[in-house]
Amino acid sequence: MPHGIVKWFDHERGAGLVAQSGGGPDVLAYRSAIQGAEGARTLLSGESVSFNLVEDFEGIRAENIYRLRPQDRSPS
């Protein structure tokens, strides 16, 4: 499963960008794709996440986004 770092996330619009850890294009991240969130579904800049990549008419986006705990992060 790919992972990356949240570059930015607009809490009002519910969308942002994630930089892939292995390189490649940044991917769109939508509030609806955030999993395991208690309360508000949002992401913070600099947060580590894992996700599935999906390509559609908007480009590449992240689906099934999960926050990574520090011990879950793989070395870059």
Tens-level pLDDT at each residue, the chain (76 residues): 899 999 999 999 999 999 999 899 999 999 999 998 676 789 999 999 999 999 988 789 999 999 997 655 555 4
Q: What is the pLDDT of residue 39?
A: 67
**What is the rounded distance in angstroms from the CA atom of residue 20 to the CA atom of residue 69?**
17
3-71: CATH homologous superfamily?
A: Nucleic acid-binding proteins (2.40.50.140)
Quote the distance between the C-alpha of residue 16 and its chain's center: 8
Q: Encoding tokens for residue 57?
A: 């008419």
Q: Would you tell me how many other CB atoms lie within 10 Å of the CB of residue 73?
A: 13
Q: What is the pLDDT of residue 1?
A: 87
Q: What is the pLDDT of residue 71?
A: 55
Q: Where are the domains of the chain?
A: 3-71
